[in-house]
Structure 1
Protein backbone atom coordinates (compact mmCIF):
# COMPACT_ATOMS: atom_id res chain seq x y z
CA UNK A 1 0.00 0.00 0.00
CA UNK A 2 1.36 3.41 -0.96
CA UNK A 3 2.06 6.00 1.70
CA UNK A 4 -0.43 8.40 0.02
CA UNK A 5 -3.26 5.84 0.40
CA UNK A 6 -2.25 4.74 3.88
CA UNK A 7 -2.42 8.25 5.38
CA UNK A 8 -6.16 8.91 4.71
CA UNK A 9 -7.09 5.36 5.76
CA UNK A 10 -5.21 5.82 9.01
CA UNK A 11 -6.90 9.17 9.56
CA UNK A 12 -10.35 7.66 9.05
CA UNK A 13 -9.52 4.80 11.42
CA UNK A 14 -8.35 7.26 14.05
CA UNK A 15 -11.57 9.24 13.74
CA UNK A 16 -13.63 6.06 14.14
CA UNK A 17 -11.69 5.08 17.27
CA UNK A 18 -11.93 8.57 18.73
CA UNK A 19 -15.62 8.78 17.89
CA UNK A 20 -16.32 5.43 19.53
CA UNK A 21 -14.35 6.45 22.59
CA UNK A 22 -16.20 9.74 22.74
CA UNK A 23 -19.56 7.98 22.54
CA UNK A 24 -18.48 5.57 25.28
CA UNK A 25 -17.36 8.41 27.52
CA UNK A 26 -20.59 10.31 26.82
CA UNK A 27 -22.81 7.32 27.53
CA UNK A 28 -21.00 6.43 30.74
CA UNK A 29 -20.39 10.01 31.81
CA UNK A 30 -22.86 9.75 34.67
CA UNK A 31 -25.50 11.82 32.86
CA UNK A 32 -28.28 9.55 34.06
CA UNK A 33 -31.37 10.67 35.95
CA UNK A 34 -34.39 8.94 37.46
CA UNK A 35 -37.56 10.64 38.70
CA UNK A 36 -38.47 10.66 42.37
CA UNK A 37 -40.65 7.88 43.73
CA UNK A 38 -44.40 8.30 43.43
CA UNK A 39 -45.94 9.84 46.56
CA UNK A 40 -49.01 11.65 47.82
CA UNK A 41 -49.53 15.06 46.27
CA UNK A 42 -49.37 18.07 48.54
CA UNK A 43 -52.83 18.65 50.02
CA UNK A 44 -54.79 21.60 48.69
CA UNK A 45 -55.23 24.71 50.82
CA UNK A 46 -58.89 23.87 51.40
CA UNK A 47 -58.07 20.44 52.78
CA UNK A 48 -55.49 21.85 55.20
CA UNK A 49 -57.56 24.78 56.41
CA UNK A 50 -58.61 22.79 59.47
CA UNK A 51 -57.25 19.62 61.12
CA UNK A 52 -60.19 17.58 59.89
CA UNK A 53 -60.62 19.15 56.45
CA UNK A 54 -64.05 18.34 55.03
CA UNK A 55 -63.99 14.68 56.03
CA UNK A 56 -66.31 13.45 58.77
CA UNK A 57 -66.02 10.22 60.72
CA UNK A 58 -67.99 8.45 57.99
CA UNK A 59 -67.28 10.76 55.06
CA UNK A 60 -64.63 8.50 53.61
CA UNK A 61 -66.74 5.36 53.55
CA UNK A 62 -68.06 3.93 50.32
CA UNK A 63 -66.68 2.70 47.03
CA UNK A 64 -63.92 4.75 45.44
CA UNK A 65 -63.09 4.52 41.74
CA UNK A 66 -59.54 4.92 40.42
CA UNK A 67 -59.57 7.82 38.00
CA UNK A 68 -57.50 9.85 35.58
CA UNK A 69 -54.15 11.09 36.77
CA UNK A 70 -53.32 7.79 38.45
CA UNK A 71 -49.93 6.23 37.77
CA UNK A 72 -48.43 2.78 38.29
CA UNK A 73 -44.91 1.77 37.34
CA UNK A 74 -41.74 -0.04 38.24
CA UNK A 75 -38.15 0.60 39.25
CA UNK A 76 -35.26 -1.77 38.56
CA UNK A 77 -31.50 -1.45 38.81
CA UNK A 78 -29.50 -1.62 35.58
CA UNK A 79 -25.80 -2.43 35.61
CA UNK A 80 -23.75 -1.06 32.72
CA UNK A 81 -20.54 -2.84 31.74
CA UNK A 82 -17.47 -1.20 33.22
CA UNK A 83 -19.48 0.88 35.70
CA UNK A 84 -19.37 0.44 39.47
CA UNK A 85 -22.67 2.21 40.13
CA UNK A 86 -26.09 1.12 38.94
CA UNK A 87 -28.78 3.14 37.19
CA UNK A 88 -32.43 3.05 38.26
CA UNK A 89 -34.67 2.40 35.27
CA UNK A 90 -38.20 3.74 35.76
CA UNK A 91 -41.32 3.20 33.68
CA UNK A 92 -44.91 4.25 34.30
CA UNK A 93 -48.39 4.11 32.82
CA UNK A 94 -51.62 5.95 33.47
CA UNK A 95 -53.68 3.06 32.09
CA UNK A 96 -54.96 2.00 35.51
CA UNK A 97 -58.45 0.93 36.63
CA UNK A 98 -59.99 -0.42 39.79
CA UNK A 99 -61.79 0.45 42.97
CA UNK A 100 -61.35 0.59 46.74
CA UNK A 101 -64.14 0.03 49.26
CA UNK A 102 -63.87 1.59 52.72
CA UNK A 103 -66.27 0.94 55.59
CA UNK A 104 -66.50 2.30 59.12
CA UNK A 105 -67.26 0.55 62.38
CA UNK A 106 -67.00 2.16 65.79
CA UNK A 107 -65.11 5.10 64.34
CA UNK A 108 -62.49 2.86 62.70
CA UNK A 109 -61.96 2.73 58.95
CA UNK A 110 -61.44 -0.57 57.18
CA UNK A 111 -60.41 -1.18 53.57
CA UNK A 112 -62.75 -4.10 53.00
CA UNK A 113 -61.65 -4.65 49.41
CA UNK A 114 -59.40 -3.17 46.77
CA UNK A 115 -58.46 -4.17 43.24
CA UNK A 116 -56.03 -2.39 40.92
CA UNK A 117 -55.55 -3.46 37.29
CA UNK A 118 -52.71 -2.13 35.14
CA UNK A 119 -52.32 -2.44 31.36
CA UNK A 120 -48.66 -3.42 30.97
CA UNK A 121 -48.36 -2.74 27.24
CA UNK A 122 -48.55 0.99 27.94
CA UNK A 123 -45.60 1.14 30.33
CA UNK A 124 -43.22 3.86 29.14
CA UNK A 125 -39.73 4.66 30.45
CA UNK A 126 -39.43 8.04 32.17
CA UNK A 127 -35.78 8.00 33.26
CA UNK A 128 -32.96 9.46 31.17
CA UNK A 129 -29.61 8.03 30.06
CA UNK A 130 -27.35 10.30 28.03
CA UNK A 131 -26.78 8.98 24.53
CA UNK A 132 -29.45 6.28 24.77
CA UNK A 133 -33.11 6.18 23.78
CA UNK A 134 -34.68 4.57 26.85
CA UNK A 135 -37.87 3.77 24.95
CA UNK A 136 -35.92 0.93 23.33
CA UNK A 137 -36.05 -0.71 26.75
CA UNK A 138 -39.85 -0.72 26.70
CA UNK A 139 -39.96 -3.20 23.83
CA UNK A 140 -37.63 -5.53 25.72
CA UNK A 141 -39.80 -5.27 28.83
CA UNK A 142 -42.94 -6.07 26.84
CA UNK A 143 -41.29 -9.19 25.44
CA UNK A 144 -40.09 -10.26 28.90
CA UNK A 145 -43.58 -9.77 30.34
CA UNK A 146 -45.17 -11.48 27.32
CA UNK A 147 -47.88 -8.84 27.29
CA UNK A 148 -49.65 -10.43 24.33
CA UNK A 149 -50.53 -13.37 26.58
CA UNK A 150 -50.52 -11.59 29.95
CA UNK A 151 -51.58 -7.98 29.28
CA UNK A 152 -52.33 -6.93 32.85
CA UNK A 153 -50.92 -6.86 36.36
CA UNK A 154 -53.45 -7.05 39.19
CA UNK A 155 -53.15 -6.25 42.90
CA UNK A 156 -55.94 -7.30 45.28
CA UNK A 157 -56.48 -7.03 49.01
CA UNK A 158 -59.28 -7.16 51.56
CA UNK A 159 -60.11 -6.52 55.22
CA UNK A 160 -57.31 -4.11 56.12
CA UNK A 161 -57.82 -1.95 59.21
CA UNK A 162 -56.67 1.63 58.60
CA UNK A 163 -54.79 3.61 61.27
CA UNK A 164 -56.43 6.29 63.38
CA UNK A 165 -56.56 9.59 61.55
CA UNK A 166 -57.83 8.21 58.26
CA UNK A 167 -61.37 9.08 59.31
CA UNK A 168 -60.44 12.76 59.75
CA UNK A 169 -58.60 13.26 56.47
CA UNK A 170 -55.07 12.85 57.79
CA UNK A 171 -52.45 11.09 55.66
CA UNK A 172 -51.93 7.67 57.24
CA UNK A 173 -49.32 4.99 56.54
CA UNK A 174 -50.27 1.33 56.51
CA UNK A 175 -48.85 -2.05 55.42
CA UNK A 176 -51.35 -3.85 53.22
CA UNK A 177 -51.02 -7.59 52.59
CA UNK A 178 -52.43 -8.77 49.30
CA UNK A 179 -51.76 -10.66 46.09
CA UNK A 180 -49.98 -9.48 42.96
CA UNK A 181 -50.56 -11.26 39.65
CA UNK A 182 -48.02 -10.77 36.85
CA UNK A 183 -47.15 -12.99 33.89
CA UNK A 184 -49.94 -15.38 34.89
CA UNK A 185 -48.42 -15.98 38.35
CA UNK A 186 -50.00 -14.85 41.62
CA UNK A 187 -47.85 -14.19 44.70
CA UNK A 188 -48.47 -12.87 48.20
CA UNK A 189 -46.98 -9.40 48.65
CA UNK A 190 -47.14 -6.48 51.07
CA UNK A 191 -47.77 -2.95 49.88
CA UNK A 192 -46.52 -0.07 51.99
CA UNK A 193 -48.79 2.86 51.28
CA UNK A 194 -50.09 6.22 52.39
CA UNK A 195 -53.76 7.12 52.17
CA UNK A 196 -55.48 10.48 52.46
CA UNK A 197 -59.23 11.07 52.15
CA UNK A 198 -60.40 14.61 51.46
CA UNK A 199 -64.13 15.05 50.97
CA UNK A 200 -65.19 13.31 47.77
CA UNK A 201 -61.63 12.57 46.65
CA UNK A 202 -58.86 10.36 47.98
CA UNK A 203 -55.30 9.49 47.08
CA UNK A 204 -53.21 6.40 47.73
CA UNK A 205 -49.48 6.18 47.04
CA UNK A 206 -46.82 3.63 47.88
CA UNK A 207 -44.81 0.68 46.68
CA UNK A 208 -44.40 -3.09 46.63
CA UNK A 209 -41.00 -4.78 46.75
CA UNK A 210 -40.87 -8.01 44.76
CA UNK A 211 -38.65 -10.09 42.47
CA UNK A 212 -39.27 -10.73 38.78
CA UNK A 213 -37.98 -14.31 39.01
CA UNK A 214 -40.86 -15.13 41.38
CA UNK A 215 -43.15 -14.62 38.40
CA UNK A 216 -41.15 -16.72 35.95
CA UNK A 217 -39.52 -13.68 34.36
CA UNK A 218 -35.79 -13.81 33.63
CA UNK A 219 -33.91 -10.53 34.15
CA UNK A 220 -33.10 -9.09 30.70
CA UNK A 221 -29.47 -8.89 29.64
CA UNK A 222 -28.78 -6.94 26.47
CA UNK A 223 -25.35 -6.01 25.18
CA UNK A 224 -23.47 -4.16 27.89
CA UNK A 225 -26.50 -3.88 30.21
CA UNK A 226 -27.77 -6.39 32.77
CA UNK A 227 -30.82 -5.97 34.97
CA UNK A 228 -31.06 -6.95 38.62
CA UNK A 229 -34.07 -9.16 39.48
CA UNK A 230 -35.38 -7.01 42.36
CA UNK A 231 -38.33 -4.85 41.33
CA UNK A 232 -40.13 -2.03 43.09
CA UNK A 233 -43.71 -1.57 41.93
CA UNK A 234 -44.86 1.98 42.72
CA UNK A 235 -48.23 3.65 42.47
CA UNK A 236 -50.07 6.93 42.92
CA UNK A 237 -53.83 6.48 42.70
CA UNK A 238 -56.33 9.32 42.46
CA UNK A 239 -59.80 8.20 43.51
CA UNK A 240 -63.29 9.65 43.56
CA UNK A 241 -66.44 8.33 45.16
CA UNK A 242 -68.43 6.06 42.91
Structure 2
Protein backbone atom coordinates (compact mmCIF):
# COMPACT_ATOMS: atom_id res chain seq x y z
CA UNK A 1 0.00 0.00 0.00
CA UNK A 2 2.86 2.39 0.87
CA UNK A 3 4.38 1.73 -2.55
CA UNK A 4 1.13 2.74 -4.26
CA UNK A 5 0.84 5.95 -2.23
CA UNK A 6 4.18 7.38 -3.37
CA UNK A 7 3.29 7.66 -7.10
CA UNK A 8 -0.10 9.07 -6.17
CA UNK A 9 1.47 11.76 -3.96
CA UNK A 10 4.00 12.62 -6.67
CA UNK A 11 1.27 12.98 -9.29
CA UNK A 12 -0.75 15.17 -6.93
CA UNK A 13 2.22 17.50 -6.35
CA UNK A 14 2.88 17.74 -10.09
CA UNK A 15 -0.78 18.55 -10.73
CA UNK A 16 -0.70 21.34 -8.13
CA UNK A 17 2.44 22.82 -9.70
CA UNK A 18 0.93 22.72 -13.19
CA UNK A 19 -2.28 24.37 -12.00
CA UNK A 20 -0.30 27.06 -10.15
CA UNK A 21 1.83 27.83 -13.20
CA UNK A 22 -1.26 27.98 -15.39
CA UNK A 23 -2.83 30.60 -13.12
CA UNK A 24 0.31 32.64 -12.43
CA UNK A 25 1.74 32.49 -15.95
CA UNK A 26 -0.74 34.92 -17.55
CA UNK A 27 -0.17 37.39 -14.70
CA UNK A 28 3.61 37.27 -15.14
CA UNK A 29 3.24 37.67 -18.90
CA UNK A 30 0.91 40.63 -18.37
CA UNK A 31 3.40 42.28 -16.02
CA UNK A 32 6.07 42.00 -18.70
CA UNK A 33 4.13 42.83 -21.86
CA UNK A 34 1.34 45.31 -21.05
CA UNK A 35 2.17 48.64 -22.75
CA UNK A 36 1.41 50.92 -19.79
CA UNK A 37 0.21 54.54 -19.86
CA UNK A 38 1.86 56.84 -22.40
CA UNK A 39 1.80 60.64 -22.40
CA UNK A 40 0.80 61.59 -25.94
CA UNK A 41 1.37 64.63 -28.12
CA UNK A 42 -0.77 67.69 -28.84
CA UNK A 43 -4.33 67.18 -30.01
CA UNK A 44 -5.04 70.21 -32.22
CA UNK A 45 -8.46 69.08 -33.42
CA UNK A 46 -10.33 71.77 -31.48
CA UNK A 47 -7.61 74.42 -31.50
CA UNK A 48 -8.61 78.06 -31.99
CA UNK A 49 -6.59 81.22 -32.64
CA UNK A 50 -4.75 82.65 -29.64
CA UNK A 51 -6.66 85.25 -27.65
CA UNK A 52 -3.70 86.52 -25.63
CA UNK A 53 -0.17 87.62 -26.47
CA UNK A 54 2.77 85.29 -26.01
CA UNK A 55 4.60 87.61 -23.59
CA UNK A 56 4.08 87.16 -19.87
CA UNK A 57 4.39 84.72 -17.00
CA UNK A 58 2.82 81.36 -17.82
CA UNK A 59 1.90 78.83 -15.14
CA UNK A 60 1.59 75.11 -15.74
CA UNK A 61 -2.03 73.94 -15.37
CA UNK A 62 -3.65 70.47 -15.47
CA UNK A 63 -5.20 71.06 -18.89
CA UNK A 64 -8.33 69.26 -20.03
CA UNK A 65 -9.71 66.67 -22.42
CA UNK A 66 -7.18 65.29 -24.87
CA UNK A 67 -4.63 67.92 -23.82
CA UNK A 68 -3.91 67.20 -20.18
CA UNK A 69 -0.55 67.94 -18.62
CA UNK A 70 1.60 64.85 -18.17
CA UNK A 71 5.20 63.65 -18.10
CA UNK A 72 6.31 60.07 -18.51
CA UNK A 73 8.69 57.54 -19.98
CA UNK A 74 8.71 54.91 -22.71
CA UNK A 75 11.34 52.16 -22.78
CA UNK A 76 11.68 48.92 -24.67
CA UNK A 77 11.68 45.71 -22.69
CA UNK A 78 13.81 43.12 -24.43
CA UNK A 79 12.11 39.76 -24.17
CA UNK A 80 13.29 36.45 -25.60
CA UNK A 81 12.76 36.87 -29.34
CA UNK A 82 10.88 40.20 -29.20
CA UNK A 83 10.82 43.79 -27.94
CA UNK A 84 7.89 45.37 -26.12
CA UNK A 85 7.39 49.04 -25.27
CA UNK A 86 6.35 50.00 -21.77
CA UNK A 87 5.22 53.49 -20.74
CA UNK A 88 4.46 55.22 -17.48
CA UNK A 89 3.15 58.71 -16.73
CA UNK A 90 2.47 61.16 -13.94
CA UNK A 91 0.05 64.06 -13.94
CA UNK A 92 1.59 65.62 -10.84
CA UNK A 93 3.64 68.26 -12.63
CA UNK A 94 4.42 71.89 -11.78
CA UNK A 95 6.21 74.60 -13.72
CA UNK A 96 6.27 77.98 -15.42
CA UNK A 97 7.50 79.90 -18.48
CA UNK A 98 8.59 83.53 -18.71
CA UNK A 99 8.37 85.21 -22.13
CA UNK A 100 9.47 88.77 -22.88
CA UNK A 101 9.53 90.43 -26.31
CA UNK A 102 8.85 87.07 -27.93
CA UNK A 103 11.82 85.44 -26.18
CA UNK A 104 11.49 82.55 -23.74
CA UNK A 105 13.87 83.76 -21.05
CA UNK A 106 13.21 81.29 -18.24
CA UNK A 107 11.20 78.21 -17.45
CA UNK A 108 11.11 75.08 -15.35
CA UNK A 109 9.11 71.87 -15.22
CA UNK A 110 9.14 69.55 -12.20
CA UNK A 111 7.54 66.09 -12.37
CA UNK A 112 6.73 64.02 -9.28
CA UNK A 113 8.42 60.70 -10.05
CA UNK A 114 6.86 59.08 -6.97
CA UNK A 115 3.45 59.17 -8.67
CA UNK A 116 4.43 57.63 -12.02
CA UNK A 117 2.00 54.90 -13.03
CA UNK A 118 1.92 52.33 -15.80
CA UNK A 119 -1.22 50.22 -15.82
CA UNK A 120 -0.12 47.57 -13.33
CA UNK A 121 0.43 48.39 -9.66
CA UNK A 122 3.16 45.78 -9.12
CA UNK A 123 5.12 47.18 -12.05
CA UNK A 124 4.62 50.72 -10.70
CA UNK A 125 6.19 49.71 -7.41
CA UNK A 126 9.08 48.03 -9.18
CA UNK A 127 9.73 51.07 -11.40
CA UNK A 128 9.72 53.45 -8.45
CA UNK A 129 11.75 51.30 -6.05
CA UNK A 130 14.17 49.37 -8.25
CA UNK A 131 14.64 51.54 -11.35
CA UNK A 132 14.02 55.22 -10.61
CA UNK A 133 14.74 54.93 -6.86
CA UNK A 134 12.19 57.62 -6.10
CA UNK A 135 12.80 57.47 -2.35
CA UNK A 136 16.17 59.08 -3.10
CA UNK A 137 15.22 60.98 -6.29
CA UNK A 138 11.55 61.97 -5.98
CA UNK A 139 11.48 64.48 -8.85
CA UNK A 140 12.62 64.91 -12.44
CA UNK A 141 13.20 68.46 -13.67
CA UNK A 142 13.77 70.36 -16.89
CA UNK A 143 15.30 73.83 -16.65
CA UNK A 144 15.08 76.05 -19.74
CA UNK A 145 18.29 77.67 -20.97
CA UNK A 146 17.08 80.85 -22.68
CA UNK A 147 16.67 83.07 -24.47
CA UNK A 148 14.70 81.12 -27.07
CA UNK A 149 13.01 82.90 -29.96
CA UNK A 150 9.25 82.23 -30.08
CA UNK A 151 8.31 84.91 -32.61
CA UNK A 152 7.79 82.28 -35.32
CA UNK A 153 5.18 80.40 -33.26
CA UNK A 154 1.87 81.24 -34.98
CA UNK A 155 -1.16 82.62 -33.17
CA UNK A 156 -3.70 81.07 -35.57
CA UNK A 157 -4.22 77.78 -33.71
CA UNK A 158 -1.72 75.73 -35.72
CA UNK A 159 1.16 73.71 -34.33
CA UNK A 160 4.76 74.86 -34.78
CA UNK A 161 8.13 73.42 -33.75
CA UNK A 162 10.78 74.98 -31.55
CA UNK A 163 14.14 73.83 -30.26
CA UNK A 164 14.19 74.23 -26.49
CA UNK A 165 17.65 73.79 -24.98
CA UNK A 166 17.76 73.07 -21.30
CA UNK A 167 19.06 70.91 -18.48
CA UNK A 168 17.31 67.62 -17.73
CA UNK A 169 17.83 66.27 -14.22
CA UNK A 170 16.83 62.65 -13.81
CA UNK A 171 17.78 60.19 -11.08
CA UNK A 172 19.90 62.93 -9.49
CA UNK A 173 22.03 63.47 -12.62
CA UNK A 174 21.86 66.55 -14.87
CA UNK A 175 22.55 66.63 -18.61
CA UNK A 176 22.21 69.31 -21.31
CA UNK A 177 19.53 68.43 -23.86
CA UNK A 178 17.98 70.22 -26.85
CA UNK A 179 14.66 68.63 -27.75
CA UNK A 180 12.55 69.83 -30.67
CA UNK A 181 9.07 70.32 -29.25
CA UNK A 182 5.63 70.99 -30.71
CA UNK A 183 4.11 74.30 -29.60
CA UNK A 184 0.47 75.36 -29.94
CA UNK A 185 -1.05 78.70 -29.00
CA UNK A 186 -4.79 78.19 -28.66
CA UNK A 187 -7.20 80.53 -26.90
CA UNK A 188 -5.73 81.47 -23.51
CA UNK A 189 -3.29 78.56 -23.51
CA UNK A 190 0.10 77.49 -24.75
CA UNK A 191 0.56 73.73 -25.12
CA UNK A 192 4.00 72.18 -25.47
CA UNK A 193 4.60 68.51 -26.23
CA UNK A 194 7.24 66.17 -27.55
CA UNK A 195 9.76 63.44 -26.93
CA UNK A 196 13.21 63.63 -25.39
CA UNK A 197 15.37 60.67 -26.40
CA UNK A 198 17.59 59.65 -23.51
CA UNK A 199 20.14 56.99 -22.68
CA UNK A 200 19.34 55.79 -19.18
CA UNK A 201 23.01 55.05 -18.49
CA UNK A 202 23.76 58.79 -18.89
CA UNK A 203 21.62 59.27 -15.79
CA UNK A 204 23.11 56.36 -13.85
CA UNK A 205 19.94 54.30 -14.15
CA UNK A 206 20.91 50.65 -14.05
CA UNK A 207 17.82 48.56 -13.30
CA UNK A 208 18.16 44.96 -12.19
CA UNK A 209 18.02 42.46 -15.02
CA UNK A 210 15.17 40.01 -14.73
CA UNK A 211 15.16 36.50 -16.10
CA UNK A 212 12.33 37.25 -18.53
CA UNK A 213 13.26 40.74 -19.72
CA UNK A 214 15.89 43.48 -19.69
CA UNK A 215 15.38 47.19 -20.33
CA UNK A 216 16.94 48.82 -23.38
CA UNK A 217 19.43 51.61 -22.70
CA UNK A 218 17.77 54.13 -25.02
CA UNK A 219 14.29 55.36 -24.25
CA UNK A 220 12.04 58.39 -24.24
CA UNK A 221 10.82 61.08 -21.89
CA UNK A 222 7.30 61.95 -23.09
CA UNK A 223 5.88 65.36 -22.21
CA UNK A 224 2.68 67.32 -22.77
CA UNK A 225 2.46 70.61 -20.87
CA UNK A 226 -0.40 73.11 -20.73
CA UNK A 227 0.29 76.69 -19.66
CA UNK A 228 -1.96 79.65 -18.85
CA UNK A 229 -1.20 83.17 -17.68
Specify if TM > 0.5: yes
For the 8 Å contact 1:38–1:236, the answer to whether it is kept is yes
> What is the Cα deviation at residue 196 of structure 1?
0.8
- Which consecutive residues of structure 1, in runs of 5 or more, have no partner in the other structure? 48-52, 127-133
Q: Where do 1:1-242 residues align within 5 Å?
A: 1-7=2-8, 9-14=10-15, 16-17=17-18, 19-20=20-21, 23-24=24-25, 28=29, 32-35=34-37, 38-44=40-46, 47=48, 53-55=49-51, 59-68=53-62, 69-80=68-79, 83-104=80-101, 109-126=102-119, 134-143=120-129, 144-157=131-144, 158-162=146-150, 164-241=152-229
- Which consecutive residues of structure 2, in runs of 5 or more, have no partner in the other structure? 63-67
Q: How many residues align?
A: 220
For the 8 Å contact 1:99–1:114, the answer to whether it is kept is yes
For the 8 Å contact 1:70–1:94, the answer to whether it is kept is yes
> What is the Cα deviation at residue 175 of structure 1?
2.3
SS in 2 for 1:116: strand
Q: Distance in 2 between matches of 1:117 and 1:205?
A: 15
Gap change, CA 1:165 and 1:117, over 3 Å in 2: closer
Gap change, CA 1:192 and 1:65, over 3 Å in 2: same
For the 8 Å contact 2:38–2:222, the answer to whether it is kept is no
Q: Distance in 1 between matches of 2:113 and 2:191?
A: 22
Gap change, CA 1:201 and 1:102, over 3 Å in 2: same
For the 8 Å contact 2:39–2:224, the answer to whether it is kept is no
Q: Distance in 1 between matches of 2:135 and 2:50?
A: 44
Gap change, CA 1:194 and 1:162, over 3 Å in 2: same
Q: TM-score, normalised by structure 1?
A: 0.78
Q: Distance in 2 between matches of 1:26 and 1:71?
A: 28
What does the per-residue CA deviation read over 1:55-106, in whole Å, with 9 as the maximum and x for residues that have no partner? 46xx1221110012411011111123xx3111211111111001012233xx
What does the per-residue CA deviation read over 1:129-158, in whole Å, with 9 as the maximum and x for residues that have no partner? xxxxx3222223223333233221110112
Report the aligned-residue RMSD. 2.7
For the 8 Å contact 2:38–2:89, the answer to whether it is kept is no
What does the per-residue CA deviation read over 1:154-179, in whole Å, with 9 as the maximum and x for residues that have no partner? 10112122362434442111222211
> What is the Cα deviation at residue 25 of structure 1?
6.8
For the 8 Å contact 2:33–2:84, the answer to whether it is kept is no
Q: Distance in 1 between matches of 2:136 and 2:37?
A: 30
> What is the Cα deviation at residue 189 of structure 1?
1.1
For the 8 Å contact 1:77–1:227, the answer to whether it is kept is yes
Q: Distance in 2 between matches of 1:227 and 1:166?
A: 39
